[in-house]
Structure 1
Amino acid sequence: MFGTSKISSIVNTSSCDIKTPGHVPLDVENYPVAPDNLALEQVHVYVRHGERTPVKPRMTEHIPPQWQICHVARQFKAAVAGPGVRETLEVKRIVERKDGTFDYGECTNAELTDFGRKSTYNFGNALRKLYVDRLHFLPDVMENTDEVYLRSSNRTRTIESLQQVIHGLFPLDKQSQLFVPHICVRLVSIVRPHQSNGLTNTSRNKRDENLYPNTSACPRLNTLMEEFAKAAADSMNPTLEPLDQKISKYIDGKPIRIDGSPKASGILETIRAATANGVKVPKEFLDPAVMDPIEKAVVVEWFGGYAVSPELRRLGVGRVMDDVSQKMQRKALKKNEDQLKILVNCTHDTTIAGVLQTFGVYDRKWPAFTAQMTFELYKDKSDTSPPQSESILIFGVALTSLFSVDVRMRYQNDTVVLPACAAPGNHLEGRPEFCTLKAFAETIKEFTPTDWEAECTK
């Protein structure tokens, strides 16, 4: 594990080129600029939270359970009530062990680490270099909150990651006094039937979260995920058997399986978190001949169902993609009357992989920490038509009479050509990566639930 001085030398540097295993920084220099006749109108950014610790300790005899790489989070100012209008209390938080000892930089489970804070800050800084400095799409000094939408799932690691992104995209000296970033969250209750003691959770908020596949509020989605996990175990466990002779010694002599203890997904999660944060792992877990089969099996378990089940696509990622479609259509119709330019959503690996698989463009690799997925909306510069009524906004149907509007999807610096936009007339002529908004919206309509709550309870 790293000592305090090592971590401090990394997180305090002003350099924006820090790299950890699997992390792919946003490449501003090689970003493919759109054709001259297209003008960028709106950008939807989905970014996975930064490097974190595992959700729980595993293989603790071989991988240190205590990581001293959370120094930044331990020093903060807390809002407190008092006689003043706004008061803060400077606090240093510590993690106390059972024996009463502590370390100022020790992490808790699933916590954003110093590496994660730096990588998400770097991502925000790269967004600034791209959309402010290079493309001049956003203003140098942000003044108008209507131009920006910031949202996170209600998890500490995503909220803190988004704060880092904001700090990189809009540094304090690039914010006017009128601009106060608003981070939107939709509350979600994680009460499962066997934990509720027979009480019914009536909170509506828990149903509104769609930044990740919301199994806690959708029993049918949870059932589907369990069914596909069982099918994956049946089909993929035989592929993991050859790894037992290398891996079992690290898991108390047990075989490594999709449905094992620990599960293959838990092993993958622990190793990915450790290597991303520079924590030493046994050499076998650095061998692609070991990790590639584990990753392949776990990917099938978690995301294979999206490729074959329209129901899973609807319940898992239909609503979050419908958000993108509706906001893009509104922008296309309202034009400059809709001032929203950039939407940054801090989310999870399950969302990103689920969307990629749903569109048929998944590379079958587990999304890295700070993995980035963007949807860019463009219009034809020659269009001079006036804004139209928002009342005709119906899943893209009304867009047939509008000016040429196109959508480009990108993932991890690669431009994505959507299969649904391949047909003539569904993309910009000669440029298949620019999908017409009409085709894009109609594709999303196919996996958008009409009544999500009803489908969830059937």
Structure 2
Amino acid sequence: MATPSNSDETVLNSIQARLPKLTREFIAEHYPQQVSVVHVDLLTRHGERTPVAHRIPEISPKNWNFCATGNQLHQDFLRAIGHYTNDPDTSKESAQQWQNHVFKKDSRHGGTVFGISSAKAPHPNDSSQPTAAICGFGQITDLGRQSMTALGAHMRALYIDTLGLLPASLQSGGSDDLYLRTTSYTRALESLQHTLGGLYPDPPAGSQPLRIHVRPSERDNMFPDFDCKNMVRQFVRLNTQSLERVADEYKQLYQDMLNIPSLKSFFDSEFNPGKARVAISVLDIVAPMRVHGLPLPEGIDDKLISRVAHMAAVEYLHSGWDMVALTRMQLGRLVHELAGKIAAAAEADRANALIQQPRLGIYSGHDTTLAPLLAAFGHDATAREHRAPKDLIWPPFGASIRIELLKDTTTPHPNVQPAWEESQADTTADISKVLFEKRIRPTSVPDSLYRWLPRRVHGRPSAQMNPRAARDYYVRVWYNDRILRLPTCRDPGAHHSQLGPAVCTLDGFFKQIAQFASSDKEARSECQLSRAETSA
């Protein structure tokens, strides 16, 4: 990854993700000896890419020559497609059909693998020429590959070399410890490829190919389904309200960009600010140009890029903070799935199960994967009364969310009972019949997690619900280089008694995400879609 210099670090954190430095002090502070890591889910945005289309030709070159290595590796990627399968609960015939759908029969074959291949003629001032390193639009570049490899290497340094969560080699069973998932977008799958390359840089000869789970786009839950009619309707309404709250700042940014001739030409000729958003269209061009070192015209400096990144987030993300249901409709099915996997990992660890759950899940996605998750982890009921927080920015290239399941059998569990713990008096009731906002855990968390006597007593299943059953387990959520302090986990009794609100009790974590998690059936109902429509 390119190393920023001087004041570059601030703006690059708006468009390129940072990772924490793994110093001795960092490890001692966040991973004390009595705390062990049981399971991690890593959700990422792909690495640096080219713009998705050739827009603003006055400043953006038609030819992006940043894919010399990538173009060679992409051929290996195409040859390896046969190793990629869908989720294991479907037939082999279905798996083959999905592979064809994702990689061979859709619109990205035959030279359009990465995005839009046709574009307007270059601007008269564009001196770029195609080379063997030319990228397609929307393609992950060599820099993006380096960034994702660096992320994988960071994960190796932390979870293999330092904490020993995973085996050092795939030959020693590492593949059984991994759950790998990607969307059907090529840049996401190739980002996963390089993350794995950093995690396990030297796979042994003859090792089994890794199984990567891919779902066709119409059934994927890693990004919003814009066929969800109710979601789109609410999104437009609340998005407009979010912009109204920052109207002065938004108008000022637009006026400042109109003073830049190249942007004014773009707005005048290709863009309708009354129907399209001002910031995100500009960010998709200037962010890739900035991270790849392409010259930007006078007036487009780091300060302006930071303002654009902030306002792009207001345009498309802040509305999710305003309405729980909107966040749930965007990514509630994925939250539901993640909760179930975390509960399964806790159950398997507690029972010392012979069939071990994967210790690391990697989900390679997009900005539209991370943004709704950030809303779910940081939702505050008072958000609608405030302007968008100043540190709200578009999820940068290579951004990641890490959900850590921790175990501590030594430190006393908080002896204060959170106010919401008894809000659902009958914990054996069918949670699906409880209103989302009153649920204390997602419906994907099974009752069996709570039918267990404390380890210090018997450590065996019980016929009765036991609210103390999961109290050795905690959750911490990282976003790039910082910890997300989940609102529910700040409550007394909902966080680790020594590490504080940064580390939630497992129940506190479940309470935070319960209102954002929806099953497939609930999602269909809330989106006003029939089963036939969702499977068409």
Shorter-chain TM band: 0.7 to 0.9
Structure 1 CA distance for aligned equivalents of residues 363 and 450 of structure 2? 24
Correspondent of 1:128 among 151, 156, 167: 156
Aligned length: 405
Structure 2 CA distance for aligned equivalents of residues 165 and 253 of structure 1? 36
Letter in 2 for 1:132: I
Greater shift, 178-187 or 338-347, is seen at 178-187
Structure 2 CA distance for aligned equivalents of residues 312 and 220 of structure 1? 9
Structure 2 CA distance for aligned equivalents of residues 185 and 399 of structure 1? 36
Counterpart in 2 of 1:436? 505
Counterpart in 1 of 2:532? none
Pair 1:287–1:146, CA change in 2 (3 A):
closer
Pair 1:314–1:390, CA change in 2 (3 A):
closer
Counterpart in 2 of 1:45? 42
Counterpart in 1 of 2:370? 352
Structure 2 CA distance for aligned equivalents of residues 322 and 341 of structure 1? 18
TM-score of the superposed pair, with normalisation by structure 2: 0.69
Instruction: State the Cα distance separating 1:180 from its structure 2 match.
Output: 2.2
Correspondent of 1:35 among 23, 32, 41: 32
| 8 Å CA contact retained: 1:211, 1:347 | yes
Counterpart in 1 of 2:124? none
Identity %, equivalent residues? 26
| 8 Å CA contact retained: 1:58, 1:65 | no
Correspondent of 2:408 among 374, 377, 380: 380
Instruction: State the Cα distance separating 1:176 from its structure 2 match.
Output: 6.8
Matching of residue 251 in structure 1 with residue 279 in structure 2: no
Pair 1:448–1:421, CA change in 2 (3 A):
same
Structure 2 CA distance for aligned equivalents of residues 153 and 253 of structure 1? 32
| 8 Å CA contact retained: 2:47, 2:140 | yes
| 8 Å CA contact retained: 1:333, 1:390 | no
Letter in 1 for 2:216: L
Pair 1:331–1:285, CA change in 2 (3 A):
same
| 8 Å CA contact retained: 1:318, 1:444 | no
Instruction: State the Cα distance separating 1:408 from its structure 2 match.
Output: 0.7
Pair 1:334–1:80, CA change in 2 (3 A):
closer
Matching of residue 364 in structure 1 with residue 392 in structure 2: yes
Counterpart in 2 of 1:266? 281
Counterpart in 2 of 1:104? 132
Letter in 1 for 2:212: I
| 8 Å CA contact retained: 2:474, 2:503 | yes
1:40-439 equivalences under 5 Å are: 40-75=37-72, 76-77=75-76, 78-79=78-79, 103-142=131-170, 143-144=172-173, 145-173=175-203, 175=204, 177-188=206-217, 206-207=218-219, 209-215=220-226, 217-232=227-242, 234-235=244-245, 236=247, 237-252=250-265, 254=267, 259=274, 263-288=278-303, 290-335=304-349, 336-337=352-353, 338-360=356-378, 363-382=391-410, 392-393=448-449, 400-430=468-498, 431-439=500-508
| 8 Å CA contact retained: 1:251, 1:262 | no
Instruction: State the Cα distance separating 1:59 from its structure 2 match.
Output: 1.3
Counterpart in 2 of 1:11? none
Letter in 1 for 2:253: L
Structure 2 CA distance for aligned equivalents of residues 415 and 314 of structure 1? 22
Instruction: State the Cα distance separating 1:276 from its structure 2 match.
Output: 1.4
Pair 1:71–1:146, CA change in 2 (3 A):
same
Structure 2 CA distance for aligned equivalents of residues 147 and 94 of structure 1? 36
Letter in 1 for 2:507: K
Letter in 1 for 2:40: V
Please give the secondary structure, in 2, of the residue aligned with 1:301: helix
Runs of 4+ in 1 over 4 A off after TM superposition: 16-20, 93-99, 232-235, 255-262, 393-399
Pair 1:110–1:441, CA change in 2 (3 A):
same
| 8 Å CA contact retained: 2:223, 2:366 | yes
Deviations 1:249-284 (Å, cap 9, x if unpaired)?
A: 433173788546684211011111111122222132
Give the superposed CA RMSD. 3.2
Pair 1:245–1:24, CA change in 2 (3 A):
closer
TM-score of the superposed pair, with normalisation by structure 1: 0.79
Structure 1 CA distance for aligned equivalents of residues 300 and 272 of structure 2? 15
| 8 Å CA contact retained: 1:428, 1:435 | yes
Structure 2 CA distance for aligned equivalents of residues 261 and 306 of structure 1? 19
| 8 Å CA contact retained: 1:229, 1:302 | yes
Please give the secondary structure, in 1, of the residue aligned with 2:79: strand
Relative to its length, the structure with more strand (as a share) is 1
Structure 1 CA distance for aligned equivalents of residues 475 and 266 of structure 2? 51
Structure 1 CA distance for aligned equivalents of residues 199 and 275 of structure 2? 43
Letter in 1 for 2:197: H
Structure 2 CA distance for aligned equivalents of residues 395 and 372 of structure 1? 34
| 8 Å CA contact retained: 1:258, 1:301 | no
Letter in 2 for 1:154: S
Structure 2 CA distance for aligned equivalents of residues 399 and 156 of structure 1? 44
Pair 1:441–1:272, CA change in 2 (3 A):
same
Pair 1:330–1:339, CA change in 2 (3 A):
closer
| 8 Å CA contact retained: 2:342, 2:405 | yes
Please give the secondary structure, in 2, of the residue aligned with 1:320: helix
Instruction: State the Cα distance separating 1:44 from its structure 2 match.
Output: 0.8
| 8 Å CA contact retained: 1:149, 1:340 | yes
Structure 2 CA distance for aligned equivalents of residues 444 and 296 of structure 1? 25
| 8 Å CA contact retained: 1:51, 1:115 | yes
Instruction: State the Cα distance separating 1:40 from its structure 2 match.
Output: 0.8
| 8 Å CA contact retained: 1:399, 1:438 | no
Deviations 1:325-380 (Å, cap 9, x if unpaired)?
A: 11111111221323311111111112222222232277301121111210111112
| 8 Å CA contact retained: 1:325, 1:441 | yes
Query: Structure 1: any 5+ residue segments left out of the alignment?
Result: 1-15, 82-92, 189-205, 384-388
Pair 1:39–1:234, CA change in 2 (3 A):
closer
Counterpart in 2 of 1:452? 523
Deviations 1:24-61 (Å, cap 9, x if unpaired)?
A: 34334234432322211001111110000111112112
Letter in 2 for 1:180: P
Greater shift, 422-431 or 153-162, is seen at 422-431
Structure 2 CA distance for aligned equivalents of residues 135 and 259 of structure 1? 52
